[in-house]
Amino acid sequence: MTVDQLATHSLILREAGSGLRHGFEKSLERAGRSLSELRIALELGSNEAIKEAVQRGVGVAVLSVLAIQKELKAGSLHALEVKDIHCNRDMFVVQDRRRVAPLPARLFLAFLDSNPVTAS
């Protein structure tokens, strides 16, 4: 699917300010496109609400593949790649500074520090 094809469908998005929504908007911008080119049918506050709306035929949605694994396995949702855009999300490791992390966690954090990933 291309952005042009996506624009022909009613689109269900997360609410403005959500990480997923922000990442999708940035991906559109990198592709030289704008959210205003799309037909936004609904903006909802949870992935579960979005999946329910898609299953009821309200429109299509942009969601993380992790959020729909169960539905993909069950066959109740189908994932399509939008070829024109590539979504990247910033991820953060958080820890309680008052506690000493277990050795596996410290080793993992050391690995992340020595193998930084940069956006292309």
pLDDT at 118: 64
pLDDT value, residue 57: 95
Instruction: For residue 50, count other CB atoms closer than 10 A to its CB.
Output: 24
Beta strands in 62-110 (DSSP E): none
Cα–Cα–Cα angle for 36, 84, 37, rounded to 5 degrees:
10
Which pLDDT does position 68 carry in this prediction? 93
Domains of the chain with bracketed CATH: 3-74 (3.40.190.10)
Q: For the full predicted model, state whether its pTM sits above 0.75.
A: no
10-residue averages of pLDDT along the chain (120 residues): 92 93 90 93 96 96 91 93 78 80 87 74
- The rounded Cα 84 to chain-centroid distance in angstroms is 15
Q: Say how far apart CA 67 and CA 69 lie, in whole Å.
A: 6
